[in-house]
Structure 1
Amino acid sequence: MKFGRDFEVQMIQEWREAYVDYRALKLMLKQILRFRQQLPAFHQHHPPHPPPPAPPSSAPGAGNNHDEAGGGAAVSRGFTRRISLYRAFSGLTNRAKGSPRKRDKHNNHHHFHFFDEEEEQAILISQDETASYTTTFLSSAEEGGELEVMFFRRLDEEFNKVVRFYKQKIEEVMEEADELSRQLNVLIALRIKVENPIADLPEIIGFYSPPVSPEHHSSGVPAVSPMETIQEVEQENSVHGNRNKAFIPAPLEVLDRVKIKIEPETPLTTLKCMISSLKPDQTFSKSELKRAEELMSRAFVEFYQKLRFLKSYCFLNQMAFSKILKKYDKITSRNASKPYLHTVDNSYLGTSEEVSSLMSRVEATFIKHFAHGNHREGMRSLRPKAKREKHRITYILGFLSGCSVSLAIAIIVLVHIRDLTSSEGRHQYMENIFPLYSLFGLVALHLLMYAADVYFWSKCRVNYRFIFGFEQGTELGCREVLLIGSGLAVLMFLGVVSNLDMEMDPRTKSFSVITELVPLALLVILTVILFCPFNVIYRSSRYFFIRCIFHCLLSPLYKVVLPDFFLADQLTSQVQAFRSLLFYICYYGWGDFKRRSNKCYESDVYRKFYIIVAVIPYWFRFAQCIRRLVEEKNKNHGLNAMKYLSTIIAVASRTVFQWRKGTYWLTVAATTSSIATVFNTVWDLVHDWGLMNRNSKNPWLRDKLLVPYKSIYFIAMVVNVMLRLAWMQTVLGIREAPFLHRRALLTVVASLEILRRGIWNFFRLENEHLNNVGKYRAFKNVPLPFHRQELGGGTKNV
């Protein structure tokens, strides 16, 4: 794989704008190359400079400094992509000897001259008082020199951008490390107070802050890294006369100025926090200690991940500068890479050691205080292994997919051979059995659409794992989702084949009890699998789904996060599935399933619940919007709540119109549905997708697009509008279609809504990803447990 493509894959997508624009620099080099190829006489008057001699094979890193364009053929094919990416790059690790650096001052600028006696100087690099680097190309008078001047100007812009961003992030992590150190001091004091309040203090693990030397005060630089507070000190034991390792504890008095502030995550904890806030004296319990330790552990893991990202960011950009300058030297036959890369190596980007130092200290701290000294366990938490692709998943997926297709064909053949479409029991089957199996079909279709979304998110590099908050290594890829969907389809088709009888037994005047219970047994099996406590069938994903469902059920009482309201949006597209669940209760509870008869649709109670279950998913979203409106004070959440309220009214009026025909209810259903459709469509396109921006670089789209074909967005907008009009079949009174029973028609309409939701999912998450990119947001914000109490009654971080 070429470096440019590998560079795109390895970069942190949320920081994409902060990386070197390698593609733009490469295009500029191609312009220089084309210009030189059009001037063959140029090389006759200006013979190329001989390249510097290659280092001997015994030198460190020899043979690893080839570029993929020119010297790539010389690289051994046995090197893997990862090895080729992380190999040493010339100019940064292999510093040329005999290249002294001279420094002088002129107009408050620092000029750096890099040259050998036998080499012609190509560039002059200077640094102004704002720490910005500027390169002067010394051969600009040559023909085509203006292109090289533009190249170095753009290179300087990218280099200064990278250095500024890296320095800014380093300052942020240093401040965060300082805060984590203070939080950890308080946590140790809390452990002492809760677990062993009468222990001998000199023997308990704690922290101390080394004194600050005068020279550090004068320089404005902290005496030690914030993580230096985690130190073990040796003291002379005057009693025994030997040197024993002891520890200086955190003073317990710090707890008098600290308040444990744990974000309420359940209605019960919310109530407890409200009650505890009224108490004059603060108490510390083991449950609070446990929760504080969990939050601190998560904060350290996220902080360590940020350090790893910064280290990768630094290395990849250094590699990009090395690659692009070697390309420049190859095209122009100059020796500009050595001085420029020497500048990169001596810049803040190349000399900063804060990240490496902090990483080692975080590792030691986490292992000591959160992994009970177990190095393997601690590093497993800090560096979770990436998910490995398993061939058996592909094999099982192919097998189940083939079985589901074969069973579907078998059902079609059986229906044709038995001529079941003209059977007398056809209507009875469609009214009683078909709604039971349609539930599984709608869920399987939704899984298929979600698998397609995951595939295209991965292709477009949408960081859906970070957006949804999946733990590394636990997220389901498109193959795993397809595996679940195909398995569900196989179970459904097997049930249909076993329960495809249309006529009752003439002797008993009823159907077989075993076959009639197949749909209910299938529902029970799937429910058991969903709540299975054993670590089988993607337990972490199942529990994540159950937790989000539970949050939706109690949505006003939980803090709203993206996975919760995203799932609630999915549920709004499964209204027919909710109604099928209601039919299960009525059919097997009060109906005569042995004779395939029921009076559900004639019951007033059933009709009321028929409306309620259709409204419940929209109520989830309405309640979530109200919660966010109260917390965030953003009027957009209020408008979103009004959107779902209009949808609730439209769904209820359309359902009532099915039972009560007449001009009045027709007018109400058509009017409310039209208002809800316009409201929802505009919100989808403008807010959720971020489109319909007339002043954008891409008219009526966004400034940034992940799909290279703009027509895809316009097609998606048109399809979204058309599929949202599927409700018109209810208002227009379309009861049946050619070759389709009315129950089948309802299932088709519900399937169209699921298809629309699948399309919506992709563009909704694309917009969320681009918002994260615009804000360089690549990490989860973990709330810290301790806050310092101020005299005025307020609180702030420790």
Structure 2
Amino acid sequence: MKFGKEFVSQMVPEWREAYMNYNYLKTLLKQILIFHRRPESLRPAATPSKAASLKRRVSLFRAFSGLTSRYGNNNSPKKDKEDEVILVSAMEDVDEEQGEDGSKSYQTIFLRSSEDGGDLELVFFRGLDHEFNKVVQFYKTKVEEVVKHAQELSIQMDALIALRIKVNNPNSSSSSSDTAAVSPFINETNTGPYPLEVIHEEQEKRPNGYKMASLEVLNHVKLNATSGTPRSTVKNVFKSLNFDLHFNKTEVRNAEEKLKQAFIEFHEKLRILKNYAFLNQLAFSKIMKKYDKITSRNASDAYLQMVEESYLSQSDEVAKLIERVESAFVKHFCNGNRHQGMNTLRPKAKRDKHRVTFFVGCFFGFSLALMVAIIASVHARDLLKSEGRTQYMNTIFPLYTLFGFIVLHMLMYAGNVYFWTRYRVNYSFIFGYKPGTELGFKEVLLLGSGLSVLTLAAVLSNLEMEMDPETKSYKALTELLPLALVMVVLLITICPFDIFYRANRFFLLVCLWHCICAPLYAVTLPDFFLADQFTSQVQLLRNLQFYVCYYGWGDFKKRNAETCSNSEVYDILFIVIAVVPYWIRVLQCIRRLCDGRDSTQAMNALKYFSTIAAVVTRAIYTQKRGITLKIVAASTSGVATIFSTYWDIVMDWGLLCKDSENPWLRDKLILPNRSVYFIAMVLNVILRLAWMQTVLDFHEAPFLHRNALIAIVASLEIIRRGIWNFFRLENEHLNNVGKFRAVKSVPLPFSYEDGYKSL
């Protein structure tokens, strides 16, 4: 693989704009190469201008080499100053407006600009300087951030250690006269000036020979409320956001868990910052060697020496912090087990497994074979014209379409994952998966195709069911196949053993629980993203309701759904079930409004209210009919469609920006073909109009049963949601890129008084 592609593949997606623009510089070098390959007769005449005079002026200030080479050393010959190509200088950069002083900017003076093609090389070095200054400034800013973060974590660890002592030994003194706070980032050797190496030496040693942390810190800190739990949410209604310390083991355990996660994320940020510095240094080395090769000059030595002496190479804060974080993590969170600590801090990269690809191919082949067998069976027995056609479509068909909806949704999600990965949308970070546990598109296809095989096999079995001519009842064992399949899926989902991607199943169940308990939990992106998926799976939820009715009241024995169709309670629940996903989103919007004071969440909640009104009126119309209900249903659905479509395209996707660099789209796009965005917007509008089949009474075509039409409309909504998923996460990713946000922000367990510093 060429370095350019390798360089891009190893970039942190959210920091991509801060890396050296290798492709741009390589383009400038290609222009220089093209110029040198031209015949001399076709080259433009060189005109001595500012560049030539600049070279002459610079040469006037060089040290005199001596007529007899008295400054030279014959034993170790050096390069003649007259053969120099560039002069690199570092200048102090003072910004009075921002109050920044002491930072350096680097400038390269090209000494051969009077030669043929020198103007192109001059442009190259200007671009090179711009990229290098950009990289150094970004790196310096990030180093300052991690140093401040390290100081914050030091105070947090002081509080945790003091809390441990207080809980394990309640009679311990809180006096700090004979103790000192032990920061995890302290350099115990104290060998050099470093911002985190300051430590107050204790007055005397403990008898056992080690330092005890000061309990004085507990007088200046409070325990932060865990606002993400239902219990704390209820408490926060009546109390302040900060809780006093009660010195119990539960507080210690919760604080340890939060600080442990904070250390993991901080270590991840340090690692990517270290990798950032290394990759950029390598990129500057590669581009300068490419320049030397194209121009047959020797400028790389001088420039790379400047790179080596710059802050990017000389700064060792990140390396020191990595060592101290690892040491502190192993000591305080892993009981000194370094192997365990390193496995936690540096998880192994996920590797593709060939058996996954093999089984995906097998399951898809089995699915196609079963589909052919089903079609052949239906055609051979002429089931589409049989007397039991309507009975089958009213009972068995809804039972199996539930699995069809799940499989289709998984296929759409697999497509999303594939394109997110291809275009480097960091979906793993956005969703908050643990490193190495995210499912690739092949794993998702494996689950979807496996469920497809089970479903199609059960459908083929149900086609062969025979009814007892005397009792006109079906064999209970065979009629329970759909229910058994549901139970298998549920058991696999909640299985506690480490099979079938346990980490992902647990993650899904946690998000589902947060949705059910809304608004008691703080709303994160995975929570409302999952709730949005359920708003597109209303028909699946209604099919689950049908399962309860069909098997709960024993209708499955005669393959008859009269109990469900003639029940008023069932009709009411039919409406309530459809409202639940949208109501969850309303509650989530209210919670986000209260937490973040974001006024747009109020409008978002209003959008879902309009959708609830549309869903309820359409459901009532399908049950009772009437011209008035038809007008009301059409009106509410039209308003909800306009509102939701606008929100999808403008708020969720960030498109339709009139004055953007890409007209009517947005400034930054991931997909190279802009027409895809316009096609997606048009498809979103068309697919959102699927509700019209309800109002316009397209319930049953001559060749299509009503339930089949409902299944098709529901499938179109799932496809629309799959398209929405891609662009929604693309917009979220670009927002993270704009803020250079590549690591999760973990809430810390303690808050301290303003101006308080670690003892």
Structure 1 stretches lacking a partner, 5+ long: 47-101, 105-113
Inter-CA distance 210–729: structure 2 relative to 1 (3 Å threshold): closer
Determine if contact 2:655/2:664 at 8 Å carries over to the other structure.
yes
Structure-2 residue corresponding to 1:657: 621
Structure-1 residue corresponding to 2:194: 224
Corresponding position: 1:471 with 2:471: no
Structure-1 residue corresponding to 2:224: 261
Q: Secondary structure at the match of 2:556?
A: coil
AA of the residue aligned to 1:13: P
Determine if contact 2:395/2:559 at 8 Å carries over to the other structure.
yes
Structure-2 residue corresponding to 1:735: 699
Q: Secondary structure at the match of 2:660?
A: coil
Structure-2 residue corresponding to 1:461: 424
Per-residue deviation at 1:174?
0.5
AA of the residue aligned to 2:21: D
Determine if contact 2:225/2:242 at 8 Å carries over to the other structure.
no
Structure-2 residue corresponding to 1:19: 19
Corresponding position: 1:284 with 2:254: no
Q: Secondary structure at the match of 2:107?
A: strand
Corresponding position: 1:388 with 2:351: yes
Inter-CA distance 782–211: structure 2 relative to 1 (3 Å threshold): closer
In the alignment, the residues of structure 1 paired with residue 640 and residue 758 of structure 2 have an alpha-carbon distance, to the nearest angstrom, of 45
Structure-2 residue corresponding to 1:359: 322
Structure-2 residue corresponding to 1:705: 669
Per-residue deviation at 1:227?
6.7
Inter-CA distance 205–498: structure 2 relative to 1 (3 Å threshold): farther
Structure-1 residue corresponding to 2:269: 306
Per-residue deviation at 1:279?
11
In the alignment, the residues of structure 2 paired with residue 558 and residue 280 of structure 1 have an alpha-carbon distance, to the nearest angstrom, of 18
AA of the residue aligned to 2:406: V
Per-residue deviation at 1:40?
3.8
Corresponding position: 1:757 with 2:721: yes
Determine if contact 2:185/2:325 at 8 Å carries over to the other structure.
no
Q: Secondary structure at the match of 2:83?
A: coil
Structure-2 residue corresponding to 1:148: 121
Question: Residues 72-113 of structure 1: CA distance to partner in whole angstroms, max 9, x if unpaired?
Answer: xxxxxxxxxxxxxxxxxxxxxxxxxxxxxx999xxxxxxxxx
Determine if contact 1:426/1:502 at 8 Å carries over to the other structure.
no
Structure-1 residue corresponding to 2:507: 544
AA of the residue aligned to 1:769: H
Identity of counterpart residues, as a percentage? 55
Structure-1 residue corresponding to 2:710: 746
Kindly report which structure 2 residues correspond to 1:69-468, keeping only aligned pairs within 5 A, or say none.
116-117=79-80, 120-130=83-93, 131-198=104-171, 207=182, 223-226=193-196, 246-271=209-234, 282-468=245-431
Inter-CA distance 554–796: structure 2 relative to 1 (3 Å threshold): farther
Question: Aligned-residue CA RMSD in angstroms?
Answer: 3.0
In the alignment, the residues of structure 1 paired with residue 185 and residue 742 of structure 2 have an alpha-carbon distance, to the nearest angstrom, of 33
Determine if contact 2:585/2:605 at 8 Å carries over to the other structure.
yes
AA of the residue aligned to 1:410: A
Structure 2 stretches lacking a partner, 5+ long: 47-61, 65-76, 94-103
In the alignment, the residues of structure 2 paired with residue 419 and residue 125 of structure 1 have an alpha-carbon distance, to the nearest angstrom, of 85
Q: Secondary structure at the match of 1:435?
A: helix
In the alignment, the residues of structure 1 paired with residue 533 and residue 244 of structure 2 have an alpha-carbon distance, to the nearest angstrom, of 46
In the alignment, the residues of structure 2 paired with residue 335 and residue 148 of structure 1 have an alpha-carbon distance, to the nearest angstrom, of 13
Determine if contact 2:224/2:241 at 8 Å carries over to the other structure.
no
In the alignment, the residues of structure 1 paired with residue 610 and residue 680 of structure 2 have an alpha-carbon distance, to the nearest angstrom, of 24
Per-residue deviation at 1:234?
13
In the alignment, the residues of structure 2 paired with residue 709 and residue 683 of structure 1 have an alpha-carbon distance, to the nearest angstrom, of 23
> Which of the numbers 722, 737, 743 marks the counterpart of 1:779?
743
Question: Residues 652-680 of structure 1: CA distance to partner in whole angstroms, max 9, x if unpaired?
Answer: 11111101111101100111111111111
Aligned residues: 717
Structure-1 residue corresponding to 2:56: none
In the alignment, the residues of structure 2 paired with residue 280 and residue 778 of structure 1 have an alpha-carbon distance, to the nearest angstrom, of 31
Structure 1, 688-697 or 499-508: larger mean CA deviation: 499-508
Per-residue deviation at 1:225?
4.4
Question: Residues 46-72 of structure 1: CA distance to partner in whole angstroms, max 9, x if unpaired?
Answer: 9xxxxxxxxxxxxxxxxxxxxxxxxxx
Determine if contact 2:649/2:655 at 8 Å carries over to the other structure.
yes
Determine if contact 1:208/1:248 at 8 Å carries over to the other structure.
no
In the alignment, the residues of structure 1 paired with residue 672 and residue 499 of structure 2 have an alpha-carbon distance, to the nearest angstrom, of 39
Inter-CA distance 326–211: structure 2 relative to 1 (3 Å threshold): closer
In the alignment, the residues of structure 2 paired with residue 422 and residue 229 of structure 1 have an alpha-carbon distance, to the nearest angstrom, of 88
Inter-CA distance 639–611: structure 2 relative to 1 (3 Å threshold): same
Structure-1 residue corresponding to 2:604: 640
Determine if contact 2:465/2:478 at 8 Å carries over to the other structure.
no
Determine if contact 2:680/2:723 at 8 Å carries over to the other structure.
yes
Question: Residues 104-141 of structure 1: CA distance to partner in whole angstroms, max 9, x if unpaired?
Answer: 9xxxxxxxxx9723871111112222111111111111
TM-score by length of 1: 0.85
AA of the residue aligned to 1:399: C
Determine if contact 1:207/1:247 at 8 Å carries over to the other structure.
no
Determine if contact 1:208/1:249 at 8 Å carries over to the other structure.
no
In the alignment, the residues of structure 2 paired with residue 741 and residue 378 of structure 1 have an alpha-carbon distance, to the nearest angstrom, of 60
Corresponding position: 1:580 with 2:543: yes
Q: Secondary structure at the match of 1:128?
A: strand
Question: Residues 573-622 of structure 1: CA distance to partner in whole angstroms, max 9, x if unpaired?
Answer: 00000000000111111252111112312221111100000010111111
Per-residue deviation at 1:731?
0.7
AA of the residue aligned to 1:519: P
Q: Secondary structure at the match of 1:129?
A: strand
Q: Secondary structure at the match of 1:641?
A: helix
Per-residue deviation at 1:204?
11
Question: Residues 745-779 of structure 1: CA distance to partner in whole angstroms, max 9, x if unpaired?
Answer: 10000000000000110010001001100110001
AA of the residue aligned to 2:475: S
Kindly report which structure 2 residues correspond to 1:23-102, keeping only aligned pairs within 5 A, or say none.
23-40=23-40
In the alignment, the residues of structure 1 paired with residue 92 and residue 290 of structure 2 have an alpha-carbon distance, to the nearest angstrom, of 30
Per-residue deviation at 1:502?
6.7
AA of the residue aligned to 1:443: I
Structure-2 residue corresponding to 1:4: 4
Inter-CA distance 35–192: structure 2 relative to 1 (3 Å threshold): same
In the alignment, the residues of structure 2 paired with residue 371 and residue 337 of structure 1 have an alpha-carbon distance, to the nearest angstrom, of 46
Structure-2 residue corresponding to 1:669: 633
In the alignment, the residues of structure 2 paired with residue 209 and residue 601 of structure 1 have an alpha-carbon distance, to the nearest angstrom, of 67
AA of the residue aligned to 1:653: T
Determine if contact 1:115/1:339 at 8 Å carries over to the other structure.
no
Determine if contact 1:205/1:247 at 8 Å carries over to the other structure.
no
Determine if contact 1:181/1:229 at 8 Å carries over to the other structure.
no
AA of the residue aligned to 1:619: W
Structure 1, 283-292 or 261-270: larger mean CA deviation: 261-270
Determine if contact 1:206/1:247 at 8 Å carries over to the other structure.
no
Determine if contact 1:181/1:227 at 8 Å carries over to the other structure.
no
Q: Secondary structure at the match of 1:433?
A: helix
Structure-2 residue corresponding to 1:68: none
Determine if contact 1:463/1:769 at 8 Å carries over to the other structure.
yes
